[in-house]
Structure 1
Amino acid sequence: MAINVLLAILATSLATYLSRFLGVITSKKVKENSKIFKWFNCLAYSTLSALLARIIIFPAGALAEVDYLIRFIVVFVCLIIFLISKKNFVYPTVLSALLLTLLSSNL
């Protein structure tokens, strides 16, 4: 059992660091204004949006017990805080955990 865990850690580490190494090697040739770079940027944002939508609409675990209205209120408030704080991720992240806890326990 221990050898399987060690092999899994080794394989995932190799895959992670190999892709990062290849990214560093090829990054000198990639221009930020190229169409392929913009396409990958759009792909990354769309994937993130889909994951966030799935977490909000079809949550799993403890978040599934929280009402839809509470989840949407937390997302809306945190989006406003994100825009007010000049696109700082720290404030809405901390506020989302606090707000979700307060609203779900009091409502």
Structure 2
Amino acid sequence: MSNQFIYLSILVATLGTYFCRAFGVFSAKNIKADSQIFNWIKCVSIAVISAVIARIILFPVGVLSETDTTVRIISTIILLAVYFSFKKNVILALITSAICFVLLNHYL
């Protein structure tokens, strides 16, 4: 692969990214925050994030695949329980879940 092809690929990817961002900035002026399209975009983005998280938990790759599935699921349940029990505190839920993951992974 030549250097010219790499530079051309980077240029095309950059132009595509900035075009989409510019289009978003200009079209956002016409979209109301409580409109149907805005709610649809929000739902799609939440669905994509949920799918990625589920894939990481159920079908991990790399070092995470060496851990037991039950440890990952228990850690996720603990994360959700702490998150909703402590007024949606993300930091506390993440730290608690990470500690539980390490302890469960070490002792089970």
Aligned to 1:43: 44
Aligned to 1:57: 58
Whichever of the two has the greater Rg, that structure is 2
Aligned to 1:12: 13
Extract unaligned runs of 5+ from structure 1: none
C-alpha distance after superposition, 1:57-97 (max 9, x if no partner)? 11111111111110011101111222234324333334444
Following TM superposition, by how much is the alpha carbon of 1:102 offset from its aligned partner in structure 2, in angstroms? 3.1
Identity %: 36
Counterpart amino acid of residue 19 in structure 1: C
- Structure-2 change in CA distance of 1:87 and 1:18 (3 Å): farther
- Partner SS state of residue 29, structure 2: helix
CA distance in 1, matches of 2:66, 2:96: 19
CA distance in 2, matches of 1:92, 1:4: 45
Counterpart amino acid of residue 63 in structure 1: L
Following TM superposition, by how much is the alpha carbon of 1:11 offset from its aligned partner in structure 2, in angstroms? 2.5
How many equivalent pairs are there? Answer: 107
**1:1-107 correspondence to structure 2 within 5 Å:** 1-107=2-108
